[in-house]
Amino acid sequence: YAYIVVMDGNAMPRTAATGIARSILAKRVSWFFNLLGPSLHIDTICSDSIVAIDLACNSLRKSIC
């Protein structure tokens, strides 16, 4: 979808930027499945899994979720 939207710039709707942004995907999935608690996109090149685990552990310690 992102490729099609970017290739045809004239037909790009106003909401396309948020529809193809990977950073919004986590919230869209959470909303669709009615998941509670924090959801965020982590993109740290080589350390995203350890950062995700650290954030999850901190959220559990602080009773955020």
Number of folded domains that form the chain: 1
Sequence-distant (6+) residues with CB within 8 A of 38 are 55, 59, 64, 65
pLDDT at 64 over 90: no
Query: What's the pLDDT at 19?
Result: 67
Residue range of the domain that includes 57: 2-61
Task: Tell which wins on pLDDT, 14 or 58.
Answer: 58
What type of residue sits at position 65? C
Q: What is the pLDDT of residues 5-55, one digit of tens each?
A: 667 666 666 666 666 677 788 888 888 999 887 888 888 888 889 999 999
Give me the residue label for tokens 């710039």. 9
Q: What is the pLDDT of residue 48?
A: 87
Return the closest-CA partner of residue 22 out of 57, 48, 47. Answer: 48
Which one-letter amino acid corresponds to residue 17? A
